[in-house]
Chains A and B, each alone.
Chain A
Amino acid sequence: MSTLTPRTPGGSPASPAAFQEELAWRVALHYKEAHEPMSDGAFSALLEAAQEDLGPYLTHPSDIAFAKLAPVLDSYRQPHPEDEFLSNEDYVAIIAKRRDQVLAAAERALKIDPQCTDALVVSTLLQEDEAFEVLEALIDLEAQQLEGQELQVPDSGSGWDDVFARPALRHKAAIAFMATEAAFYKRALATAGQLLDLLPNDELGMRHTQALAFARLEDEAGFDELDARFHRRGSAWTNLARTVMLFKLDRMSAARRALQGFLSLNEGAAYALLHPVYVEPYLPLRPAFVPGSFEEVTLAVREADPLVVDVPEFITWVANQPQVTEQAASFAQSRGYDF
């Protein structure tokens, strides 16, 4: 049994059970609050016990509400590779079913805690409205929820360490995603920028969102500054964004090099770009992915869609570059996908 208090709460967004881990932390912290003083050793034991079985410790209404939603949100974020082999009809039915499950869980959560941020955010995201209307609703909701307070960077250095701040941080991330969807790129930049200040380790992947926005706005200086800030660690997002940006700036040799970078980083990158797949809406965060995977690049391609649509000759240009269609075809073949 550990005698040290785990310093950093678990529930990194990369984890497949991120919401449930976060829930266990919330429960343990609420319990600790109600039973002070509590030694570090006792807290560790409490946390382990809560992770085993929440039941005896689940008393705070906000946690009870969150408990209705957390498992459903975790499940929604999991990859579903079996979907690829469903008929179109069955696929449409199953994604509708998943969305309905999230909406139902959100409604149950809100009955217990009408202020449950995650429930309010996913309910808003699931409204069948235009992207800019959903964006406006999320912005208004944030103003109501924060009631004039600013999110603070805690002394430990990352906003993510405060589990109780995470719903508000996810809310902000949802705003950044919707702003990109609605083609409000400066809004996306500003919101993602706020999150990067609050989360220097970028737990929510906002540098990817900023990369897309800088590229769309042809802001090469901003793009470069961002790249340097994160030590030039590329991702599917930054490589695709850089390629589109250089194409837009008519720096074609540099664009060709950037494209090679994009194609070499992720499995199936060529296929993902030439044969975009449907990506379910983020509720409210990106699904879990393995860096360098095909799943990752499909997300980047989906998020970059508003950019690519604005550059009508981009995909044709990509397809005409050497080896690209061959790469796409061979990947499709290896996975048994259509091409």
Chain B
Amino acid sequence: MAFDAAREEYQLLSIRYLRDHKLTDSYGMAREAAAFRRQFARNHDALPQTDQDRAFHLMAQAVTLIDNELPFVEAEDDAYALIQEAQGLLSESVSLDPGCFDAQRALTAQQSPTREAYYRYLKDGEAHTWEVCQDRAQEALKSSQMASDLEARLLLFPAYRWTAALASHALVCGRYSIARDAAERLLAQDPEDVADARFTAALAYAKLEDGEGFLSLRKRTRKAHNRPAPDAWASFAFMALSAKANDYTLAREVLHQILRIYPHAAYVLSQSSAVPEGIFARMAVEPYSNDELVLATSEALVLLQEGVDLKGYGTLGAFMLQDPLVRQKAEEDERELRAMLTDGPSPLGASSMPEGPDAFPQDDTDDWGLDGPSDLLGDWGQSRS
């Protein structure tokens, strides 16, 4: 589902605005909604807002600069200037509202000399963040104003993002139990999983070689909104667990499934690049898009690159790259992508179209044999034998 700072700010301010105008009839609502949209776009400062709202707005601007613009800036001077601007906005944000935890977190992320330092900050600050956010959410609910439920939910989002960041940083730092526990805490709090914590959880279970834990996670989360087929994170985790249980046939099936769900998948897998993390939250991408696979592959590198191997790809990386279908498709993808660069986009040929997520409905059918006996249980489900 993913977070989007601008959209979230829009939602919060629209609630503020509609309450301010004390509307009740639907014609009035529609007219005022249009007015709100115009004002949001053209005269933002004049909208009714608290200091907390202003702080959020400044933070949203800052993280948009860092996450959406900075990756594309080439000149070092320009990058430096952009970072300075973002830091200015973030500093102003926290002085307006020290409880703007997204801004606090973003400032620290920018300034932390090491991953370890940022991890430590996230770990130490988690309880306080939740306390404050939950207080604010309670306040909103108690007011019983219009849309207070939605507002309360939005006010918890900074805490969700904090814990989600903790989970993903713990994973990268090699702290898998901590990553798993943080992700599971989020899932317990928010069964809708707006933070997509199940993605990080899947990777953590795979790193812990916990087949039982992974399958339990899948059973609990597979019927998520807009997710007709297994996502790439779950697929990587399942592929890894299968290979480690010496079931290469199953691992290969899952790998080939990824190729059928995601466009130009083979090319992405063969590149296995790391992309910068979003400072606000995981970057919002279209489900089952090429971008999503790029993101998932980057996060899954901790899983794919482990193990000693001759060329530095890791055990699972090498397994993927050696697969004949991956190699064949990667070559096809590369030709197609080059052609698109020179000739411009053209309709994808029938042979290169992925089947896409609808070919793998996971609501009705039992995807990956979850309800039956699994190769992943038995010996490998126990931690000691």
| CB of A52 closer than 8 Å to a CB of B | no
Q: Is the CB–CB distance between B116 and A132 below 8 Å? A: no
| CB of B1 closer than 8 Å to a CB of A | no
Segment 183-236 of B: residues with Cβ below 8 Å from A = 207-209
Residue in A closest to B174 when the chains form the complex, CB atoms = A311
| CB of B379 closer than 8 Å to a CB of A | yes
| CB of B302 closer than 8 Å to a CB of A | yes
Q: Is the CB–CB distance between A130 and B114 below 8 Å? A: no
Q: Is the CB–CB distance between B209 and A131 below 8 Å? A: no
- Closest approach, in angstroms, between the C-beta of A230 and any C-beta of chain B? 15
Residue in A closest to B305 when the chains form the complex, CB atoms = A309
- Bound complex: CA A221 to CA B208 (Å): 14
- Bound complex: CA A305 to CA B309 (Å): 12
Contact partner, B208, options A182, A194, A217, A313, Cβ 8 Å: A217
- By a CB distance below 8 angstroms, the chain B residues around A249 are 175, 177-178
- By a CB distance below 8 angstroms, the chain B residues around A312 are 115, 172-174
- Bound complex: CA A218 to CA B246 (Å): 22
Interface string of B93-137 (1 = CB under 8 A from A): 000000000000000000000111000000100000000000000
| CB of A222 closer than 8 Å to a CB of B | yes
| CB of A319 closer than 8 Å to a CB of B | no
| CB of A248 closer than 8 Å to a CB of B | yes
- By a CB distance below 8 angstroms, the chain A residues around B383 are 186, 189, 217, 219, 221-222
| CB of A9 closer than 8 Å to a CB of B | no
| CB of A237 closer than 8 Å to a CB of B | no
| CB of A85 closer than 8 Å to a CB of B | no
| CB of A314 closer than 8 Å to a CB of B | yes
- By a CB distance below 8 angstroms, the chain A residues around B322 are 130
| CB of A53 closer than 8 Å to a CB of B | no
Q: Is the CB–CB distance between B315 and A183 below 8 Å? A: yes
- Bound complex: CA A305 to CA B243 (Å): 21
Given contacts A218-B208, A306-B308, A311-B174, contact A132 B243 (CB under 8 A): yes
Contact partner, A218, options B116, B123, B176, B385, Cβ 8 Å: B176
- Bound complex: CA A307 to CA B308 (Å): 10
Given contacts A132-B319, A190-B385, A313-B114, contact A183 B175 (CB under 8 A): no
Q: Is the CB–CB distance between B173 and A306 below 8 Å? A: no
Segment 336-385 of B: residues with Cβ below 8 Å from A = 379-380, 383-385
- Bound complex: CA A256 to CA B178 (Å): 19
| CB of A128 closer than 8 Å to a CB of B | yes
- By a CB distance below 8 angstroms, the chain B residues around A132 are 243, 307, 309, 315, 318-319
- Bound complex: CA A316 to CA B116 (Å): 10
Q: Is the CB–CB distance between B244 and A186 below 8 Å? A: yes
- Closest approach, in angstroms, between the C-beta of A308 and any C-beta of chain B? 9
- Closest approach, in angstroms, between the C-beta of B305 and any C-beta of chain A? 8
- Closest approach, in angstroms, between the C-beta of B311 and any C-beta of chain A? 9
| CB of B306 closer than 8 Å to a CB of A | yes
| CB of A104 closer than 8 Å to a CB of B | no
- Closest approach, in angstroms, between the C-beta of B373 and any C-beta of chain A? 18
Given contacts A132-B319, A316-B114, contact A225 B308 (CB under 8 A): no
Segment 180-239 of A: residues with Cβ below 8 Å from B = 181-187, 189-190, 193-194, 217-219, 221-222, 225
| CB of B310 closer than 8 Å to a CB of A | yes
Given contacts A130-B318, A186-B380, A313-B173, contact A250 B123 (CB under 8 A): yes
Q: Is the CB–CB distance between B116 and A131 below 8 Å? A: no
- By a CB distance below 8 angstroms, the chain A residues around B314 are 183
Q: Is the CB–CB distance between A185 and B385 below 8 Å? A: no
| CB of A310 closer than 8 Å to a CB of B | yes
A186, A189, A310 pick with most chain B CB within 10 angstroms: A186
Given contacts A128-B310, A250-B178, A313-B173, contact A217 B209 (CB under 8 A): yes
Q: Is the CB–CB distance between A309 and B306 below 8 Å? A: yes
- By a CB distance below 8 angstroms, the chain B residues around A309 are 306
- By a CB distance below 8 angstroms, the chain B residues around A248 are 174-177
Segment 295-320 of A: residues with Cβ below 8 Å from B = 305-306, 309-314, 316-317
- By a CB distance below 8 angstroms, the chain A residues around B172 are 312
Q: Is the CB–CB distance between B178 and A182 below 8 Å? A: no
Residue in A closest to B244 when the chains form the complex, CB atoms = A184
- Closest approach, in angstroms, between the C-beta of A37 and any C-beta of chain B? 43
Segment 56-84 of A: residues with Cβ below 8 Å from B = none
B314, B315, B318 pick with most chain A CB within 10 angstroms: B315
Contact partner, B315, options A182, A186, A225, A310, Cβ 8 Å: A182
- Bound complex: CA A194 to CA B379 (Å): 13
Q: Is the CB–CB distance between B318 and A183 below 8 Å? A: no
- Bound complex: CA A219 to CA B308 (Å): 22
| CB of A126 closer than 8 Å to a CB of B | no
Q: Is the CB–CB distance between B246 and A131 below 8 Å? A: no
| CB of A162 closer than 8 Å to a CB of B | no
Segment 261-304 of B: residues with Cβ below 8 Å from A = 302
Interface string of A255-268 (1 = CB under 8 A from B): 00000000000000
| CB of A136 closer than 8 Å to a CB of B | yes
Q: Is the CB–CB distance between B307 and A314 below 8 Å? A: no
Q: Is the CB–CB distance between B177 and A218 below 8 Å? A: yes
- Closest approach, in angstroms, between the C-beta of B245 and any C-beta of chain A? 8
Q: Is the CB–CB distance between A311 and B173 below 8 Å? A: yes
B binding-site residues for A, Cβ under 8 Å = 114-116, 123, 172-178, 207-209, 243-244, 246, 248, 302, 306-310, 314-315, 318-319, 322, 379-380, 383-385
Contacts A181-B307, A313-B173 known; list 14 others, CB within 8 Å.
Answer: A128-B310, A130-B319, A130-B322, A182-B315, A186-B209, A187-B244, A187-B246, A189-B383, A217-B209, A218-B208, A248-B175, A249-B175, A311-B175, A313-B114
A-B contact list, 20 entries, CB within 8 Å:
A129-B310, A130-B318, A130-B322, A132-B243, A181-B307, A182-B315, A183-B308, A185-B209, A186-B380, A189-B385, A219-B384, A222-B383, A249-B177, A250-B175, A305-B308, A309-B306, A310-B302, A311-B174, A312-B172, A317-B116
